[in-house]
Structure 1
Amino acid sequence: MKKCLFLILLFIFITNCNKNKTVNKVEHKITAEKINFQKYNFNTTSKIKEKIVLTQGVTYVLDFWYLECPPCVKDHFLIKKSIASLDKENVKVIGISIDRNTNNWIEYLLEHNYNWQNYNQFKGDFNLKEDLGIKLFPIYIVVNDKGKIQEKFHSFKYVLKYLSKI
C-alpha cells in the first residue's frame, strides 16, 4: 500500500514538474496590449504624485513588487548589477511598489542604494496593478516607448535573456 501511494505521489510530482519545467514567460491573465500611463498617478520617494512619461526610443521594464516578497527583493540585487548595461542599451527599469507603508519603501530603496526610477502605487482612482489584473509577484512587464506591452516575466533573469535577443 505504501509503495503504491509513493508511486502515485511520484507520478504527480514528475508530471507537475514537467509542466512547469521552465516558467520564463508569464502565463498570466494580463490581456492589455498597451498601457496608457497618463491615466495613472504614482507616488515618488519625495512623496509627490507624478505621471510616468515615456521617452521615444527607450524600452521600459516595469518591476511590480513589494517588500514582503522575497523573490522581488532578491531580484533587486540583479537589477542593481544590470542597470548600467541596460542604460547603455536604452532600457530603463521602473519599479512600481504596492507597499502600504511608503516610509518603509523609501527606507529600503535608500538603504540599498536602489536609485533607478521607483514609484509606489497603493491606492488611487486608477490603479495600474489592478487594471492589469496582477496577482503574482514579482512581475516584469516590458513595454516600448508607446506603452505597448512586449512581454511579461516573473524573473528578472528572464527579462535580461529576452532583452539580449531584441
Structure 2
Amino acid sequence: MNRINQRNYLKLFLVTLMVFTQGIALAQNDKIELNIEIKGLGNGKVMIRQANPEGAKFDSLNAENNILQFKGIAKGPLLYNLSFPGGKYLSFFAAPNEKITVKGALDDLKSVKIAGSIHQPAWRAWSSIWNHLHLYAGTIYKKLDSIEKAKGDRRFYMDKLKDWDRIMVDSVDAFVKKFPASPVTPWVIDSRFVVYLYPDKAELYYGMLTDQAKKSPFGIALGRSVAINSKTSIGKRPDFIQPDTAGKLFKLSSLKGKVVLVDFWASWCGPCRKENPNLVKAYAAYHNQGFEIVGVSLDDKKQNWLKAIAADKLTWQHVSDLKGWKNELAIAYGIKSVPTSFLIDASGKIIAKDLRGEALENKLKELFK
C-alpha cells in the first residue's frame, strides 16, 4: 500500500472510529434506570408505558419480593406510567442519564417517594392541579347524567361546565408562566386539549416556552401541532378531498356559498353519537336555508361507519379514507379527539370551532336570521 493510500486509509479509520465512539456515548447518555420498591407488590407484574410523541412504548416487569428494575432508552425527557395490579398506577417524568428510585406501598401510591428526576417537581405540581380539576368535572357530569335521566333542567350544570373550562384554561396559563423551561409544560399544553380548543392561546403559550422546553420531545410535538392547527384557525379557508360512502371523491370547496359544519366523528365515539341528535335537529331546521354538514369519519371499517350513519339518521354528506386515526385529514388538521368541528361561512372561511348543542343552534340562528 503506497504512502498516500495509507494516509487516506488512516483518515477513514479515524473518522469511522470517531463516529462509532460518539454513537456509543450518545447511546449511553440516552439510558435511564428505574429502581422500584413497592411494599405489598410481592412478585406481581407491572406494566410500564413510555409516553412518547412518536408513539408510546410498552414493557412488562416482574417484581421479586416487592422490588423490580428497569433499564431503557429515552430520547429526551419523557413521561412514564406504571400500572400495578388492581388498576392502580403512578406516573413520573424521567430524562436521559437519570437513575430514578420509586419507593412506597401499593395501598398508598399517593404517598410514593420518587427521587432522581429533575423534572418531577413540575410534574407533581401539574398532577395535583389536574386531580382537583378531574374530580370537579366528574361531579358535574354525574349531576348532568342524573338530571338527564329525570328529564330535568340541565342549564345550571352546563354553566358549571363552562366555569370548569375557564378554570382549566386559567390553570394551564398559570402553570406555563411558572414552569416555562420544563419539558412537562408542552405536554400539559398539548394533552389538556388547549391546542385545538384554544389555538390562539396554544400559540401564545408555545411562544412563552424557553428554547430548552421547545427542543424537548413534547416541545417539538407541540410546535408541530401549533403549525398544523394554524390551518384551521379562525379566518382560514380550508379545502380537502376525500372519498364519500360510495367511494367517489368529494371536495369541500364544492359547497362554497353554503354555511358548512365540518364534523370529525366516528361510530365508536360515544360523545359523537350523543351529539348527533343535535346535528340532525340543526340540519333539519337550516338545510333549506343553505346549511350543510360534512361528516369526516375516523372509522377504519366501512360497515361500522355506514351502520352508524343509518342508525343515527345522518342524511348529510359523509367522507372517510377509512384509516382510523391515520385519516389524512385528521393528521393534516391536527385532530386529536372527536368530536371536533369547525363552522365555515358562505365565503369558505372558518368562523367558529367546536360548537355543540345550544351553542351551534344560537350561531346558526345568528347566521340565518
Common topology (TM > 0.5): yes
Secondary structure of the 1:54 match is helix
2:267 and 2:305 in contact (8 A); partners too: yes
Code of the aligned partner of 2:334? G
Task: Tell me which of 255, 274, 279 is aligned to 1:74.
Answer: 274
1:84 corresponding residue in structure 2: 284
1:62 and 1:140 in contact (8 A); partners too: yes
Pair 126,140 (structure 1): closer, same or farther in 2 beyond 3 Å: closer
Q: Deviations over 1:27-53 (max 9, x none)?
A: 24531222123xx2x222223333334
2:348 corresponding residue in structure 1: 147
Q: Which deviates further from its counterpart, 94-103 or 143-152?
A: 143-152
Say how many residue pairs are matched. 153
Secondary structure of the 1:114 match is coil
1:137 and 1:154 in contact (8 A); partners too: no
Q: Which deviates further from its counterpart, 149-158 or 134-143?
A: 149-158
TM normalised by structure 1 equals 0.74
1:31 and 2:230 matched: yes
Runs ≥4 residues deviating over 6 A: 14-17
**Following the alignment from structure 1 to structure 2, what is the Cα–Cα distance between the partners of residues 128 and 147?**
17
**Following the alignment from structure 2 to structure 1, what is the Cα–Cα distance between the partners of residues 262 and 321?**
13
1:19 deviation in Å?
4.7
**Following the alignment from structure 1 to structure 2, what is the Cα–Cα distance between the partners of residues 62 and 56?**
13
1:64 corresponding residue in structure 2: 264
Code of the aligned partner of 1:151? A
The structure with the largest helix share of the pair is 2
1:105 and 2:250 matched: no
TM normalised by structure 2 equals 0.36
1:159 and 2:360 matched: yes
Q: Larger radius of gyration, structure 1 or 2? A: 2
Pair 114,126 (structure 1): closer, same or farther in 2 beyond 3 Å: closer
Which 5+ residue runs of structure 2 have no aligned equivalent?
Answer: 1-127, 138-160, 170-195, 200-225
Task: Determine what percentage of the aligned residue pairs are the same residue.
Answer: 21
Of structures 1 and 2, the one with the larger relative CO (CA 8 A, separation 6+) is 1
2:329 corresponding residue in structure 1: 128
Which 5+ residue runs of structure 1 have no aligned equivalent?
Answer: 1-7
Code of the aligned partner of 2:340? I
Secondary structure of the 1:159 match is helix
